[in-house]
Amino acid sequence: MKDFRECTVYEIYPKSFLDTNGDGLGELRGVTRKLDYLKELGVDYLWLTPFFVSPQNDNGYDVADYRRIDPRYGTMEDFEELSREAARRGIGLMLDMVFNHTSTDHEWFRKALAGDPKYKAYYIFKKGKPDGTPPTNWESKFGGSAWEYLPQFDEYYLHLFDKTQADLNWDNPEVRQEVADVVRFWMDKGVRGFRFDVINLISKGAFEDDDRGDGRRFYTDGPRIHEYLQELNQRTFGRDPGIITVGEMSSTTMENCFRYAGADGRELSMVFSFHHLKVDFMGNEKWVLVPTDFAKLKEILFSWQSGMAAHDAWNAVFWCNHDQPRVVSRFGDEGTYWKQSAKMLADVIHCLRGTPYIYQGEEIGMTNAGFTDLSQYRDVESLNHFQILRDKGMSEESAYNILKVHSRDNSRTPMQWTDGENAGFTAGTPWISVNPNCRHINAESQVGDPDSIFSHYRALIRLRKEYAVISRGDFAPLDQADPAVLAYRRRWKGDTLYCINNFYPKPCRWTCPEPLDGCTLLLANYPDARPGQTLELRPYESLVLLRREES
């Protein structure tokens, strides 16, 4: 059985990974075809974003049937083949379960719409206010009201996301049983892990107007959330200690995460939190352009590291996923220091305490989409918010510039396999444009090159398995006030590891507050790096140092 502290998870967005049948959409067979590449990288689990039957209004996060595979992604035989072939290479599959909501195309919702009381009770229907407005002023995460009116009932249903993603009523025990049955179904198919989409939003509290925000404080980490997670755990994955689970925790608090991801294993193995990725937002507002607040980034990363460690709880650590812009474009450099900055950012994450997640293409330094026309965008969130910004009177150019930075489509362009036609992703017309920089950023040119970003990620994945100080060590920030350097120390038994990173393109001098005598270089992003008490750090320079005590 694998120890998840030593493991690395690789996220695949199947639609954009590899298309083997020329329809322009990637599918499960494409993943199977690339298993040797993933084995070479060394990852332990593949998190596959949803490939279940779905109208694809939110690229599969709008599930219409939890037990069937959308024909666009393949068949159950394709899934079984992928599972078998992955297992043969020591790789486990982790499925993405979306249980906060279903598609309005789901049979349950259709029956609810037909007036069946059993299924109406699966969702959250409410009367509007006497003045004819929705039940509360809550906003959908994708823009507009979180309530959709149905004239046939003179009622509204709740949708925290798109209006075709209706929120399930977890207070209904029948819903919780259905969900557990779905999890068991996939466990029986040999799945080794689960990622639970926005799982901390499932327990709704009071349905009241929010005079301070968009409503999230009424349903985030809601009143019965721990009870529901413990119940699901006991009914399903908790019975198989080999299964790893990660909960996507939207706007959560650390205190709740101590429980979600506690070492007692009563709820989940680990959590994704996102506070460190809101450092280029204005509060919770993403659709603005503000510079990255580096001090805040460190403060958040470090406090989550220390806080979770102090409570024996486990983080998932990451920069990238299918909802985030590409990290090299966001916090690094797409130009001169592309390679150095991509490697530095990798070191920052992969030496932390937690299980690292790599998002497809991150390991070769893929950049933001670089779209040049609005028509290239596909994401419902981006398109809705573009319209909202325009409706507020923002010029098309300004709204477009915000999309360029923050759109989720930045991470959804096809995986760049080769420098050839469509980056080797498809022989057809890709569903979303390929980034033309595939000419120089592609997997083919990096695998086997010892100096590539790919090889650097490969080394990091190995180091985590080799050194318990990385997988188990404690955590302490170093010189947190420095305006350019992000540095920390890990310790385990006689080993001490230092991870020192210049986060900026400007060279800087940095003196380690702790003696570095006896340290040797474990990894660096410049070939001629040399450890020393005072370091002259070059642009985006990163050093990982290790001291071992003779035993």
CB nearer to ligand TEU: pick between 168 and 198: 198
- Residue 159 touching ligand TEU (CB under 6 A): no
Among 15, 34, 120, 141, binds ligand TEU (CB under 6 A): 141
Query: Is 6 an active-site residue?
Result: no
Among 250, 256, 471, 542, binds ligand TEU (CB under 6 A): 250
Q: Report the nearest approach of ligand TEU to the CB of residue 251 (Å).
A: 8
- Residue 278 touching ligand TEU (CB under 6 A): no
Q: Report the nearest approach of ligand TEU to the CB of residue 166 (Å).
A: 12
CB nearer to ligand TEU: pick between 247 and 332: 247
Whether residue 460 contacts residue 290, with contact meaning beta carbons closer than 8 Å, is answered with no
- Residue 197 touching ligand TEU (CB under 6 A): yes
Among 61, 122, 457, 504, binds ligand TEU (CB under 6 A): 61
Give the DSSP letter string of 433-457: PPPGGGGTS-HHHHTT-TTSHHHHH
Q: How far, in Å, CA of 85 to CA of 190, rounded?
A: 12
Whether residue 294 contacts residue 308, with contact meaning beta carbons closer than 8 Å, is answered with no
Helix or strand run (H / E) with residue 542: strand 542-547
Q: How far, in Å, CA of 486 to CA of 478, rounded?
A: 8
SS3 14: helix
CB nearer to ligand TEU: pick between 66 and 498: 66
Position 178, amino acid: E
The structure tokens listed for 175 are 């819903």
Q: What is the dihedral of CA 479, 481, 484, 489, to 10 degrees?
A: 30
- Residue 58 touching ligand TEU (CB under 6 A): yes
- Residue 390 touching ligand TEU (CB under 6 A): no
- Residue 409 touching ligand TEU (CB under 6 A): no
464 CB-near residues (< 8 Å, 6+ apart): 6, 7, 8, 350, 356, 470, 471
Q: What angle do CA 25, 26, 28 make, to 5 degrees?
A: 135
CB nearer to ligand TEU: pick between 408 and 456: 408
CB nearer to ligand TEU: pick between 351 and 402: 402
SS3 530: coil
Tell me the residue number closest to ligand TEU, measured at CB.
61
CB nearer to ligand TEU: pick between 276 and 322: 322
Q: Report the nearest approach of ligand TEU to the CB of residue 109 (Å).
A: 15
Q: φ and ψ at 51, to 5 degrees?
A: -125, 20
Catalytic residue among 248, 280, 409, 482: 248
Among 217, 286, 465, 548, binds ligand TEU (CB under 6 A): 286
The structure tokens listed for 384 are 């809705």
Query: Is 409 an active-site residue?
Result: no
- The DSSP bridge partners found for residue 313 are 262
The structure tokens listed for 198 are 């926005």
DSSP annotation of 386 reads H
CB nearer to ligand TEU: pick between 61 and 467: 61
Q: Which of residues 293-352 bind ligand TEU (CB under 6 A)?
A: 322-323
- Residue 198 touching ligand TEU (CB under 6 A): yes
Among 7, 28, 93, 98, binds ligand TEU (CB under 6 A): 98
> Residues 468-487: x/- map of binding to ligand TEU (CB under 6 A)?
--------------------
Q: Report the nearest approach of ligand TEU to the CB of residue 344 (Å).
A: 24
- Residue 273 touching ligand TEU (CB under 6 A): no
- Residue 280 touching ligand TEU (CB under 6 A): no
Size of the site for ligand TEU (CB under 6 A): 12
Q: 213-244: string of b/e by CB count within 10 Å (b at 16+)?
A: ebbbebbbbbeebbebbebbbebbbbeeeebb
Whether residue 186 contacts residue 98, with contact meaning beta carbons closer than 8 Å, is answered with no
Whether residue 500 contacts residue 519, with contact meaning beta carbons closer than 8 Å, is answered with no
Q: Report the nearest approach of ligand TEU to the CB of residue 100 (Å).
A: 7
- The DSSP bridge partners found for residue 262 are 313
Whether residue 482 contacts residue 299, with contact meaning beta carbons closer than 8 Å, is answered with no
- Residue 70 touching ligand TEU (CB under 6 A): no
Contact positions toward ligand TEU, by CB under 6 A? 58, 61, 98, 141, 161, 197-198, 248, 250, 286, 322-323
Residues with active-site annotation: 197, 248
